Structure 1
């Protein structure tokens, strides 16, 4: 419609023999505006959330479930993708805060929020499993990647998903929870995460509880290949742990170098029904 309007204007003034050069300028201005709007429409604004949910229990009220609050938070902000840490599946432990019922927390939250859920088991635990989870507005191709523990201790994993849009564009979304005990484990796990993510040669968003602060070696290892998303907008990002009065920044969104310039906003949310605060991020992606 804009195109034919431009032609009509030019035809009219050409026939009159007046201001033809001005009409051509207006025509190309209109066409430029049209294609600019089209390009803007083709960009996607995606919302991401990461949250360590303390195995579905409120840490400040023992035996009390926090699933309803977690689900309400997700419904409030409507993220497209969610990375969850400290997720139980059918454990005796989580049953104590879920009315005596063994629950797959990822599946329960997926049902409560209308999203698709995936549980990435890191270890067998309490007659069930313990690990990470991803929630997505769309069904995705999910997988679980085990992470090394050279010093022993609790096993860790990375939940991994390949996201493909209808126009063929792809990116990787992953969530993880690194070792809280041994620095050598965190270093090895970080190196394995980098190896696994870079081999796909796709844009990457990875989120989670990394259990390291910016002055630690693992942070430096990861920052060689990925960008700390919060630092792109704020030179002094907010702490995330403990939730009641945060003093440590150990939860992050990291993005691949090719996503530099896509971060619209990133915010640590002020909630205290887990021992970590969640982080909400928005990206504009082609």
Structure 2
């Protein structure tokens, strides 16, 4: 049954070959590698299977554990989720530590087919609460074109933190010398003050596609808080989906295809 399910997912993504300038992107809050519908049950094998089937160029993950006692309770030993996913999928992985947690660390991850300059930007928390960060990679396409890709998880408690964290991300993104895409669980909805502060050259894939499905909770009783943002001066949107058939986390994976615009000489 499981093989049939993932075969069906793969069929949904079969299309004409993408041009080398089109970039498949996935963002997913993975609930620290634990199934939402079966507590204490690992979800890493199913996540790896999903990534192998749909083959994004870049993947941003949130709620990622590294060598925590929580992961030991789920998997039988402390594990680094990103390292394990890299081994299972063949992607190059990077864990962006946001904070110490449960004898290990907790943060964000990026997986790419080819990348360099992996690093973490620590984010401000003026109102206190959990420490947050954004994991960055400079990804390289088959055409040798490069772009920066970031994965983040903003504060779930304080609006002041989210605003400060957004300002830090956007200031940093605008300073980079390559086109930028950033994704994540931002813990605010499209009608929030935080969303309205994002400058107009940054486009959010769901809004641009007119697909306003919830990304957290159930498809009927949840919220849209997981996003793919891209610099519209450098990219255009080709496709956007919320993968509501993937239910092993309390969030749904969010998928987009972007096309890099040709730059004038």
TM-score band by shorter chain is: 0.7 to 0.9
Identify the residue that residue 202 of structure 1 maps to in structure 2.
Answer: 178
Deviation at 1:170, TM superposition (A): 2.5
Structure 1 pair 167–80 and aligned structure 2 pair: CA distance change class (3 A): closer
Question: Secondary structure of 1:97's partner?
Answer: helix
Identify the residue that residue 248 of structure 1 maps to in structure 2.
Answer: 223
Identify the residue that residue 278 of structure 1 maps to in structure 2.
Answer: 253
Deviation at 1:233, TM superposition (A): 1.8
Question: Secondary structure of 2:147's partner?
Answer: strand
Deviation at 1:172, TM superposition (A): 1.1
Aligned length: 244
CA distance in structure 2 between the aligned counterparts of 1:228 and 1:72, rounded to whole angstroms: 27
**Bigger share in helix:** 1
Deviation beyond 6 Å, 4+ runs, structure 1: none
2:124, 2:164 within 8 Å by CA — same for their partners in 1? yes
Identify the residue that residue 11 of structure 1 maps to in structure 2.
Answer: none
**Bigger share in strand:** 2
CA distance in structure 1 between the aligned counterparts of 2:195 and 2:39, rounded to whole angstroms: 33
Structure 1 pair 92–161 and aligned structure 2 pair: CA distance change class (3 A): same
Deviation at 1:223, TM superposition (A): 4.0
Provide structure 1 residue ranges, at least 5 long, that are not aligned to the other structure. Answer: 1-40
CA distance in structure 2 between the aligned counterparts of 1:246 and 1:254, rounded to whole angstroms: 24
2:115, 2:137 within 8 Å by CA — same for their partners in 1? no
Identify the residue that residue 41 of structure 2 maps to in structure 1.
Answer: 64
Question: Secondary structure of 2:248's partner?
Answer: coil
Render the CA deviation track for 1:135-182: whole Å, top value 9, x for unaligned.
Answer: 011142200000000011001000011224576533111110000011
State whether structure 2 residue 245 is matched by structure 1 residue 265. Answer: no
Deviation at 1:245, TM superposition (A): 4.4
2:215, 2:251 within 8 Å by CA — same for their partners in 1? yes
Deviation at 1:229, TM superposition (A): 1.5
State whether structure 2 residue 94 is matched by structure 1 residue 121. Answer: no
Question: Secondary structure of 2:233's partner?
Answer: helix
Q: TM-score, normalised by structure 1?
A: 0.81
1:146 to 122, 125, 143: 122
Question: Secondary structure of 1:202's partner?
Answer: coil
Identify the residue that residue 139 of structure 2 maps to in structure 1.
Answer: 163
State whether structure 2 residue 58 is matched by structure 1 residue 81. Answer: yes
Structure of greater Rg: 1
CA distance in structure 2 between the aligned counterparts of 1:195 and 1:93, rounded to whole angstroms: 34
2:153 to 163, 172, 177: 177
CA distance in structure 2 between the aligned counterparts of 1:167 and 1:137, rounded to whole angstroms: 13
CA distance in structure 1 between the aligned counterparts of 2:19 and 2:29, rounded to whole angstroms: 33
Deviation at 1:247, TM superposition (A): 2.4
Render the CA deviation track for 1:32-57: whole Å, top value 9, x for unaligned.
Answer: xxxxxxxxx97522111100000000
